[in-house]
Amino acid sequence: MSDQRPDGEYGWLYGEDKPTRPVPREAASDLPPPNLPPPGRRVGDEPPSGPRKPKKHHNGRRIFGIIVLAWVVFLVAVPWWAWGQIEKVDASPASGRPAEQPGTTYLLVGSDSRRGLTKAEQKELATGGDTGGRGRTDTIMLLHTGSGPSILMSLPRDSLVDIPGYGRTKINAAYAYGGPKLLVRTIEKNTGIRVDDYIEVGFGGLVKVVDSLGGITICPKERIKDKDSGLDVQKGCQTANGRVALAYSRNRHSYATQDIQRVQSQREVLGSIADKAKSPWTVLNPFRYVSVAKGASGSLRIGDDVSPLALFKFALALSASMGGGGLNCTVPLKDFAVTWDPERAPKMFDYIKRDRTDQIGSLCTKDGLPKS
The ranges assigned to domains in the chain are 96-363
Q: Tell me how far apart the alpha carbons of residues 100 and 40 are, in angstroms, rounded to a whole number.
A: 82
Rounded to two decimals, the pTM is 0.78
Alpha-carbon distance of 175 to 184, in angstroms, equals 9
Write out the chain's pLDDT in tens, 372 residues: 445 555 455 544 545 555 555 555 555 455 555 555 566 555 555 555 556 655 555 678 888 888 889 888 988 898 888 888 889 999 999 888 999 999 999 999 987 655 555 566 555 665 555 555 556 788 999 999 999 999 999 999 999 999 999 999 999 999 999 999 999 999 999 999 999 999 998 877 788 889 989 999 999 999 998 888 888 999 999 999 999 999 999 888 777 677 888 899 999 998 888 888 888 888 888 888 888 888 878 778 899 999 988 988 888 888 888 877 789 999 999 988 899 999 999 999 999 999 999 999 999 999 999 987
Q: Is 86 exposed, middle or buried (0-12, 13-18, 19+ CB in 10 A)?
A: middle
In whole angstroms, give the CA distance from residue 84 to residue 261. 36
- Distance CA(325)–CA(305), nearest Å, equals 29
For 254-273, write each residue's pLDDT tens digit. 776 778 888 999 999 988 88
Instruction: Write the single-letter amino acid at 99.
Output: A
Amino acid at the residue 113: S
**332 close to 370: Cβ distance less than 8 angstroms:** yes
Q: What is d(CA 152, CA 110) in angstroms, rounded to the nearest whole number?
A: 14
Which amino acid is located at 294 in the chain? K
pLDDT tens, 78-95? 888 888 888 999 999 988
Collect all residues with Cβ–Cβ distance below 8 Å to 293 and sequence separation of at least 6.
78, 79, 81, 82
End-to-end CA distance of the chain: 146
Q: Report CA dihedral (103, 158, 260, 208) to the nearest 10 degrees.
A: -70
Instruction: Give domain 96-363's CATH architecture.
Output: 3-Layer(aba) Sandwich (3.40)
Distance CA 244, CA 143 (A): 25
CA 15 from centre of chain: 92
